[in-house]
Structure 1
Amino acid sequence: MTLGARRLLPGLALLLLAAWFVLPLVPLALWGLADRWSAPAVLPQEWGLSGVAEAAEQGAGSGVVGSLALGGLVAMLATPLGALAGRALASRHLPASVLVGAVLLSPLVVPPFVVAMGFDVLLLRLAVPAWAGVVLLLTVAALPYTTYVMRTAYGGYDQGFDDEARTLGASPRQVVRLVQVPVLTPALAAAAFLAFLVGWSDYVVTVLVGGGRLVTLPLLVASATSAVGNEAQVAALSLLAVLPPLALLLIVAAIGRRGRKVRA
Structure 2
Amino acid sequence: MDIGELERALSEARPEAVQRELMQRALAATGATHGALFLWDKKAGGLVLTHHVVEGLTVTLPDQVLTPGSRAGIALHCFESDEPYLCRDSARDPHYTRYLLDVRSIAAAPIRYQKKPIGVLTVSTRAADQLSKDTLRVLGELAVAAAPFAALAQDEVTVGFAIALSGFVAPYDDGPYKAAQLAIDDINAKGGLLGKKIVHVAADTASDPAQGATAATDVLSKGAELVMVTCDFDFGAPAALVAQSQNMMTSA
More helix by share: 1
TM-score normalised by length of structure 1: 0.28
Higher relative contact order (CA 8 A, sep 6+): 1
TM-score normalised by length of structure 2: 0.29
Q: Which has the larger radius of gyration?
A: 1
